[in-house]
Structure 1
């Protein structure tokens, strides 16, 4: 599903990633852990096509069979919208829109049929236990409910890969545990691949594989 070779990231004199290579299989849940500054979020952003690696002779990134680094910007944006989903520590819901409308946004960006997108969004929100909250705006939802709306938004285009950056970092212990269990339920239900950056040891240890980053590389 994801094959990355020799990923480097340099910001002037700062060398953040130092030749990361990894292979993540379809349907696998992989956690990435390490101290602050180890390069976890930078790696996640590059794997998620939100940033590009520094140019090196043997660097490559293939996701779902597509050669990412040879794509033009428009093609990469379209690939990201249709194939990748993102869950962040701060849910980043748009405050003026309802839960249903927030979930629908990636589907509308993909120019899918409005009714099909709304029907799919309602199914996802029901699956996540939020069918009674679809017309509520983010400020009317609890932190856990907001994060589940963000999960539904990440799933709306049936992406092959879900990238999560500290997804439970802003939640209380019980809500975080529920979210962690949800990831495995989603994998079993929809077959998605998950790549999760986390400081939460419990979540990290639940994953199929735990990758440890130290000083810009996987050890």
Structure 2
């Protein structure tokens, strides 16, 4: 599902990623932990195609059997929209739109017709216990509800891979626990692969595998 070899990243003279190798199977939930500044978020952004690695003779990067390094910007944007879902610490919902409208946005970008997009969005919101929140805007939702709307948005196009960056970092303990359980329920229900960057040890230890980053490298 995910194969990355010899992944390097520089920001000016700062060598952030120093030859990361990674192999993740379909349906795995993998957590990535490490101190601040270890390179976790940079790695996640590269794996999620939001940033690009430095290309060396040994660099390899494939997602779902697609060689990401050869895609042009248009093809990469299409791949990202159709194959990848993102969940962030701050839900990044658009405040002027309802929960239903926020969930539909990636589907509209994919050119899914409105009726089909809304049908799928309602199915996801129902699954996530938000059937009574279709028409509520983000400021009318609790933190946990906002994050569940963001999860529905990440799932709307049935992506193969979900990348999550500190997904429970802005939630209270109960909402965080519910979100952590939800990831495993989603994996069992929809078969997605999850890669989760987190400082939450409980979530990290629940994963099928826990990878530790130190100074730009995965050490286990």
Give TM-score, length-normalised by structure 1: 0.99
Rounded to whole Å, the distance in 2 between the matches of 1:11 and 1:91 is 26
Rounded to whole Å, the distance in 1 between the matches of 2:185 and 2:25 is 18
Residue 201 (1) aligns with residue 191 (2):
no
Q: State the match for 1:169 in structure 2.
A: 169
Q: Report the RMSD for the aligned CA atoms in angstroms.
A: 0.4
What are the within-5 Å matches in structure 2 for residues 85-124 of structure 1? Answer: 85-124=85-124
Rounded to whole Å, the distance in 2 between the matches of 1:110 and 1:19 is 34
What are the within-5 Å matches in structure 2 for residues 33-182 of structure 1? Answer: 33-182=33-182
Rounded to whole Å, the distance in 1 between the matches of 2:185 and 2:50 is 26
Rounded to whole Å, the distance in 2 between the matches of 1:13 and 1:135 is 48
Cα deviation code 1:8-59 (max 9, x no counterpart): 0011210000000110000000000000000000000000000000121111
Give TM-score, length-normalised by structure 2: 0.99
SS of aligned partner of 1:119: helix
SS of aligned partner of 1:124: helix
SS of aligned partner of 2:87: strand
Rounded to whole Å, the distance in 2 between the matches of 1:57 and 1:208 is 31
Rounded to whole Å, the distance in 1 between the matches of 2:100 and 2:112 is 15
SS of aligned partner of 1:20: strand
SS of aligned partner of 1:58: coil
TM-superposed CA distance for 1:160, in Å, is 0.1
Rounded to whole Å, the distance in 1 between the matches of 2:20 and 2:208 is 19
Unmatched 5+ residue regions in structure 1? none
Structure 1 runs, 4 residues or longer, greater than 2 Å off: none
Rounded to whole Å, the distance in 1 between the matches of 2:122 and 2:12 is 46
Q: State the match for 1:10 in structure 2.
A: 10
